[in-house]
Structure 1
């Protein structure tokens, strides 16, 4: 077996027997970081040293070392990254440089040992895989071998969770080998969901893998010195889908990682904005959902994409048409609570900043098929606005690129950035980036600021993976509508088939996501699975839904909504108070510093304070100037930290008082 029993531990250390799973490599990387807390490059040196230890040549070859790292640890690093790691290994005395060649220092290399870390991670890895095997057997009647289960988990992480930073231009980081069953995405996602629901400690290992991947992405940042750099005069704009997520209109699993991203952006100095036409699109989606709830809108079978997700979220929350219309009217207010300002797109007065919108539109159309022409127009308008805000100038750092567009659409990023790089150098910062890539970059800047981010992102990806494809879902909805009209199924059966997450999961499970696998008998099979799950896990809840689902669910939803509203109001008030205090402090500091600067001039100005106070102010001004010159720390960044600190403190106080 390729990935089992990969090392044997003895008194002398580790003896290599084979290559380790890439999941183990990523988890080891995270543990190394926790133990050492050094810079990101140093974090990879143990992997390089482990390969050097078994090298048969005394001279280090970049291609050979690159191949060893890939074969042993499943990590694919570009040539320049390997060169960078060799240079760091040389500084660590693992290598010595003679006549422009690197030689291995055997005494130092042979004394290094990764064994203890790998053993602990390997134990956790095997526990997760064996648990996954048992889950496949019990829940899906699938007898997967250890290797099949492991390959399925690796492929799922590679395709659904582990995202590359924009600077890598979609180059693969991890090596995926072997084959997996066609329905592996659904099975893995449902397994992870089970771990999360049961608070299983094995979920911690998956978090380590996820964080290890984010740490690995640090190697692809062009300038390592800028990994921790804050944003400077950069405004970040958001697309329609991200705003729907952040506002909570598609559920908590989507909202939580989006809020984390917004908080990290604000803490690192970025200004948060969105274009007015984007807000108009969000409002149109929500108003459309309101019409659908009132029965005057589209057929439910015509809903798709985020309209469908939002509609089903409102249904499950027990929202009425008037409730949703109120949300549509308060969109801009709710965005302000998230610190997002709504602005118009820049005009075309500066002719030098006008770009080829027609060419951009054609480039996007070759990669993406839009259902609605207006959606393409809005995307082009947003991206073109970023070009104009930058003055059509190239920037080589994300942190000071003036403007950046964030989207959840990976295909849009790929298409638009390919068009961008036709006329710009590879090192230039593209106009747009995915929310996952930006989250990764921000997490690298402040890895301790969002300790639960990895878990939230894993859960959000699982939620998405458990959703059936749009064509399959529409075909399914048409069939159950027909069965309801023919009175083949009861109203209660229709509710279970239409509005429960178990039905969606069963649809993907039965069809394995294949549209052609759907047949007339599929609905009956799905209904049977849903009822079995209801009897097994949610017997009391389903009984309430069958007897008086409307009254009981609305009571529960109302209680949850009241609590969420209370916490949201308190958070908004705390942000408002803290923002006012920060602005007052900023104005006060500016006034004092201006007066002090005036007194530095040889003018005959009457003193408005005594000599000692003036001397203290001069010293403070000098200290501020020195700190700014040495560390780049600005008063605005300090005041923002104070604002965030005050906001958190006020929120805690108000929560305690209200409870």
Structure 2
């Protein structure tokens, strides 16, 4: 099989971004890639094989040999190219003017691809450290290859030759890629959107393999029949991911007019599967040989045998509840009968059945589809009348070998889903997302052959007593047991030879204990950090306490110094008070003394005036009239002087001996000595 180049992720994304569902032809959407490939050539004329090679190298898109001439014919009709000789073409001047520039988009999507590949490598190193050597491979090619194997298988004329095969050397990465996509779907919607856009582009690119002339037709004449495992998916008996994907597929089929059915014998097969699951839930010993996905699902949801019995009670109600009709196997064995012996041989060449009944049911279903087609070999899906939808890729390939047709009797769910989506891309934008998730989920399941070998080894170890019955149940029936097995073996038969159930048990114990160990380590780290924080806090508090003690000592010393200074100041104040009191007393005594002196002088002066008055009176008898007049005048003058002087002396004495005056006088004197703040009244 031709390898899918890593550049396909870029080409798929660009195709989806520029896809025009309203174009006159599906082929018109590939014009930009073909024209860009011609423009990149340094030659004036470019041959058809070189164009195909350049498109594949630059964009990762494979344009079939028979399709490229059809595209070039349309570009020539539009005036973009012109044929020179044979297979050689060249661009026209009009094409050079209108040539789309894909460089910016290529750069953008290459950056996204690099980011996705780098993140994928980191995921491998973290989730699969034992297999980190796988990061040395071309991871972009592995991511693109996933779409070819799981998500974009489309029926076509050359499908039988180009059908992807799983190379044992790449099967290890297939599981890791599926695990990575599942991880992105749960935890990283941005990067998962890159994957979905690439998946949509890959699905659109695969249209080149089929005849698109009838894609505008409705599917009223098409009957889509589900086989039993697909019915289990649709009913949710294999998990949520598978159910969501199938619900999207059925919704697209109904919107396009198709009839959805199951055969009556498939309903009986469903009852047999549920009966086996019910028996296994009732009898744990039977689980040693019966460990299907259905049983694992019902064990994971803690279903009881009674729950399964209730489901078996009304199987037709289950089917009608999801909108499926029940078909009886058609007649016409003689007219349109298929060589069922040959079909059985072809199927057994490609599929290993654990139960003969499953082979019989598949033969009956494919034979019934052949009779519904009345032996016709349709060239398009829209005119195939009926098709069986299965998960079994080997069964689909066997049906192609028995009845050669462009539309095989049986198609895988991915093929049908892709076919329905590319017919009406706008009807269900979520369908590719559900298909990728379901494909990733399916890719994480153990291969049936490898799983049967593993169960046999578990039974041997359980019988020999090397593992307990409880551990055997965990390994066989729980999802964690399956996941641990796939994580250790990566679904590779070569790796599984070196892995024993005890190794898987060790991984399970590690997975169970790792969260607890992580919590313990987290608690230890948290405790250590808390201890460090506490020590740091105590150190800071000790430092703060030491600083407070130093400050307190400084405060005590300051207070002591201030108290000493205060005592000294008080003593000085007391001495000043005493000194000032003494000075005030001295000033008061001096003021009183001055008042007495002034009063004494006034008294002497008054006595002198009085005497001066009496002497003239005593001499009046011997004086003449003129002298008497002069003396009277003198007397009057002396009296007028003596009386005010006497009054002034009296007032001065009274005033100078008054405490109020002495207080004011003392203040004036003290103010001159900078003692105006003392209350001298208390000293007087």
TM-score normalised by the chain length of structure 2: 0.68
- CA change 1:38–1:210 in 2 (3 A) is farther
How has the CA–CA distance of structure 1 residues 240 and 27 changed in structure 2, closer, same or farther, with 3 Å as cutoff?
A: same
Offset from partner CA, 1:123-176 (integer Å, 9 cap, x none): 111111111111122222215556533333234343333323344424549999
Deviations along 1:402-433, one digit per CA (max 9) or x if unpaired, are 32222222211211212212xxxx5x543332
Q: What is the CA–CA distance in structure 2 between the aligned matches of 1:218 and 1:45, rounded to whole Å?
A: 14
Q: Please identify, of 159-168 and 51-60, the stretch whose mean Cα deviation from structure 2 is larger.
A: 159-168
**1:233 offset after TM fit, Å?**
2.3
Q: Does 1:310 align with 2:294?
A: yes
Whether contact under 8 Å (1:233, 1:402) holds in the other structure is yes
User: 1:95: how far off?
Assistant: 0.7
The Cα of 1:507 is off from its aligned counterpart by 1.9
Within the candidate set 189, 203, 207, 1:214 is matched to: 203
1-structure distance, mates of 2:442, 2:432: 16
Task: Give the structure-1-normalised TM-score.
Answer: 0.70
Give 2:143's aligned residue.
153
The 1-side partners of 2:91 and 2:275 are apart by 67
Q: Where do residues 249-288 of structure 1 align in structure 2 (5 Å cutoff)?
A: 249-288=237-276
Aligned-pair CA distance for 1:289 = 0.5
Q: Which residue of 1 aligns with 2:81?
A: 95
Tell me the secondary structure at the aligned position of residue 393 of structure 1: coil
Contact 2:245–2:435 under 8 Å retained in 1 = yes
- Paired residue secondary structure (2:26): coil
**Alignment length (residue pairs):** 512
| TM-aligned CA distance change 1:228 to 1:518, over 3 Å | same
| Counterparts of 2:302 and 2:518, CA distance in 1 | 19
Name 1:162's counterpart in structure 2.
152
The SS at the match of 1:67 is: helix
Cross-structure match for 1:241: 229
1:211 is displaced (CA, Å) by 0.7
Q: Indicate yes or no: 2:295 matched with 1:301.
A: no
Q: 1:413 aligns with which of 391, 396, 400?
A: 396
Change over 3 Å in CA distance of 1:537–1:277 after alignment to 2: same
For residues 236 and 517 of structure 2, what CA distance do their matches in structure 1 show? Answer: 29
Correspondent of 1:66 among 37, 52, 56: 52
Q: Establish whether residue 81 from structure 1 lines up as the match of residue 67 from structure 2.
A: yes
Matched-pair contact (CA < 8 Å) for 2:387–2:411: yes
Cα 1:535/1:49, change in 2 over 3 Å: farther
Name the SS of the counterpart of 1:225 in structure 2: coil
- Give deviations 1:202-234, integer Å, cap 9, x for gaps: 111111111111101222221x23223211322
The answer for the alignment partner of 1:184 in structure 2 is: 173
SS of the equivalent of 2:51 reads helix
1:51–1:65 Cα contact (<8 Å) kept: yes
Q: Distance in 2 between matches of 1:457 and 1:366?
A: 28
Checking the alignment, whether the CA contact within 8 Å between 1:76 and 1:173 is kept in structure 2 is no
- Match for 2:123 among 117, 124, 135? 135
Instruction: Report deviation, 1:495.
Output: 6.1
> Residue 196 of structure 2 aligns to a residue in which SS?
helix
**CA distance 1:527–1:98, change in 2 (3 Å):** closer
- Residue deviations 1:515-551 (CA, integer Å, cap 9, x gap): 465579744433343344335558899xxxxxxxxxx
Deviations 1:245-299 (A, max 9, x none): 1111111111111111111111111112221111111110011101111118x62
> Offset of 1:312 from its aligned partner?
0.9
Tell me by how many angstroms 1:324 deviates.
0.5
Indicate yes or no: 2:374 matched with 1:385.
no
Matched, 1:466 2:441: no
Instruction: Call closer, same or farther: CA 1:538–1:61 in 2, change over 3 Å.
Output: farther
Residues of 2 paired with 1:357 and 1:401: CA distance? 20
- Distance (whole Å) between structure 2 residues aligned to residue 232 and residue 155 of structure 1: 34
Q: Is the 8 A contact 1:234 1:401 kept in 2?
A: yes
Structure 2: distance between partners of 1:510 and 1:538: 21
Q: For residues 538 and 331 of structure 1, do their structure 2 counterparts lie closer, same or farther at Cα, with a shift above 3 Å needed?
A: farther
Deviation of the 1:28 alpha carbon: 1.6
Using a 3 Å threshold, how does the CA distance of structure 1 residues 195 and 531 change in structure 2: closer, same or farther? farther
Q: Which of 268, 288, 306 is the aligned partner of 1:322?
A: 306
Q: Is the 8 A contact 1:75 1:173 kept in 2?
A: no
Alignment correspondent of 1:114: 102
DSSP-derived class of the 2:224 partner: strand
Asked which structure has the greater CA Rg, the reply is 2
Alpha-carbon shift at residue 509 of structure 1 (Å): 3.0
Is the CA contact (8 Å cut-off) linking 1:466 and 1:504 kept in structure 2?
Answer: no
Equivalent residue for 1:503? 481
Structure 1 position 332 matched with structure 2 position 332: no
Deviations 1:376-407 (A, max 9, x none): 33222222222222322343332233322222
In structure 2, C-alpha distance between the alignment counterparts of 1:174 and 1:32, rounded to whole Å: 27
